[in-house]
Amino acid sequence: MLGLASIMLVLVASVVIGVWGVRAARSTPDFLVASRSIVPGWNALAIAGEYVSAASVLGLAGLLVKNGVGAMWYAVGFTAGYVLVAALVAGPMRRSGAYTVPDFAEYRLGSPRIRRMCGLVVLVIMLLYLLPQFKAAGVVLELVSGIPYWIGVIGAGLVVSSTIAVGGMRSATYVQAFHYLVKLAFIAGPAIVLIALAGSDRREAALAAHGPDPDWARPLLDLDGSGHSVLATVSVLTATTLGAMGLPHVVMRFHTVAGARAARRVAVSVIVLLSLFYLFPIVYGLLGRIAVPNPAETDVVPVLVPGAIAPGTVGAVLTALVAAGAFAAFLSTSSGLLLALAGGLSHDLFGGSLSKLRMGVVVGTALAVVLSLPAADVDINVLVGWAFAVAASTFCPLLTLGIWWRGLTATGATAGLLVGAASSTGAALASVILDLPPGTWSILLAQPALWTVPLAFATMAAASRPGSVPDWAGEAVLRLHVPGRYSTGDTGPIRTGPNRLDGSGPLR
Amino acid sequence: MQRVRVTSPQTRLAQRRGADAMGRLSHLAGRPPMPSTAIDLEAAERALRRQRRLAVRTALALLAALATLLTAAALVPGRLGWAVLFFAPYPVLLALAALHVRRAERVEDDHASEAHASEAPAADAATGRASDLRADPAPDGP
pLDDT for position B38:
55
Does A186 map to a domain? yes
* Count of Cβ atoms closer than 10 Å to residue A287 Cβ: 27
pLDDT at B128 over 50: no
Q: How many CB pairs under 8 A join A and B?
A: 168
Identify the DSSP state of B7: -
From chain A, the residues in CB contact with B46 under 8 A are none
Confidence check: pLDDT of B92 > 60: yes
Q: Read off the pLDDT of each residue in A260-267 and give the average, rounded to a whole number.
A: 90
Q: Is A482 helix (H, G, I), strand (E, B) or coil?
A: coil
* Count of domains observed in chain A: 1
| Mean pLDDT to the nearest integer, A153-172 | 76
Q: Which of A261, A470, A483 sits opposite B111 (nearest CB)?
A: A483
Residue A252: its chain B contacts at CB < 8 A?
A: none
Per-residue pLDDT of A432-448, as tens digits, reads: 888 888 888 888 998 99
Q: What percent of chain B has pLDDT over 90?
A: 34
Question: Is B85 within 8 Å of A72 when comparing Cβ atoms?
Answer: yes
Residue B28 has what pLDDT?
Answer: 42
Q: In whole angstroms, give the CA distance from residue A497 to residue B9.
A: 34
Mean pLDDT, rounded, for B45-65: 95
pLDDT band at A166 (very low <50, low <70, confident <90, very high): low
Contact A261 B108 (CB under 8 A): yes
Residues A409-427 have pLDDT tens digits of: 999 999 999 999 999 999 9
The CA distance from B89 to B82, in Å, is 11
Residue A206 lies in a domain: yes
Contact: A264, B36; criterion CB under 8 Å: no
Instruction: Give the residue, A507 or A473, on which the prediction is more confident.
Output: A473
Listed in sequence order, the residues at least 6 apart from B139 whose beta carbon sits closer than 8 Å to its beta carbon are: none
The Cα A242–Cα A387 span in angstroms is 11
**Cα torsion for A318, A322, A328, A331, to the nearest 10°?**
-130
CA distance A279 to A285: 11
Question: Three-state SS string across A371-416, please?
Answer: HHCHHHHCCHHHHHHHHHHHHHHHHHHHHHHHHHCCCCCHHHHHHH
Residue A15 lies in a domain: yes
- pLDDT, residue A471, reads 82
Q: Which residues of A touch B77 (CB under 8 A)?
A: 209
Total residue count of chain A as it appears in this document:
508
Q: How far is CA A17 from CA A40, A163, A176, A334, A506, in A?
A: 18, 10, 10, 17, 35
Q: Any idea where the domains of chain B sit in the sequence?
A: 9-38, 40-120
Chain A nearest C-alpha distance from B6 (Å): 23
Residue A343: inside a domain: yes
A102 within 8 A of A344, measured Cβ to Cβ: yes
Please give, rounded to a whole number of angstroms, the shortest distance from the CA of B138 to a CA of chain A: 12
Nearest to B104 among A79, A91, A220 (CB): A91
- pLDDT value, residue B123: 38
Domain that includes residue A219, residue range = 2-376
Q: For the residues B106-135, what does the mean pLDDT come to?
A: 57
Task: Report the share of chain A in percent with pLDDT over 90.
Answer: 31
Q: Please name the member of A110, A268, A476 whose beta carbon is closest to the beta carbon of B97.
A: A268
**Mean pLDDT estimate for chain A:** 83
DSSP per residue, B28-87: HTT-PPPPGGGS-HHHHHHHHHHHHHHHHHHHHHHHHHHHHHHHHHHHS-HHHHHHHHHT
Which range of A168-172, A375-379, A411-415 scores highest in mean pLDDT? It is A411-415
Distances (CA, A) of A140 to A4, A193, A318, B78, B122: 10, 21, 14, 34, 65
Tens of pLDDT along A22-64? 654 445 555 555 545 556 677 888 888 888 888 888 989 998 9
Average pLDDT over residues A229-237: 91
Q: Residue A157 pLDDT > 50, yes or no?
A: yes
Residues of A in contact with B75 (CB under 8 A): none
Amino acid at B67: A
**In terms of pLDDT, which residue wins out, A447 or B118?**
A447
Asked if the structure places residue A497 within a domain, the reply is no
Q: Which value does ipTM take for this structure?
A: 0.87
CATH number of the CATH domain containing A224:
1.20.1730.10
The pLDDT value recorded for residue A13 is 83
Instruction: Using the predicted structure, report yes or no on whether residue B66 has a pLDDT greater than 90.
Output: yes
CA-to-CA distance for A131 and A339, rounded, in angstroms?
Answer: 15
Q: pLDDT tens for residues A327-367?
A: 888 888 888 888 888 877 777 777 656 677 777 888 888 98
Is B28 within 8 Å of A98 (Cβ atoms)? yes
- Which of chain A's residues have a Cβ under 8 Å away from the Cβ of B98? 268
CB proximity list for A140: less than 8 A, separation 6 or greater: A7, A58, A152, A300, A303, A323, A326, A327, A330
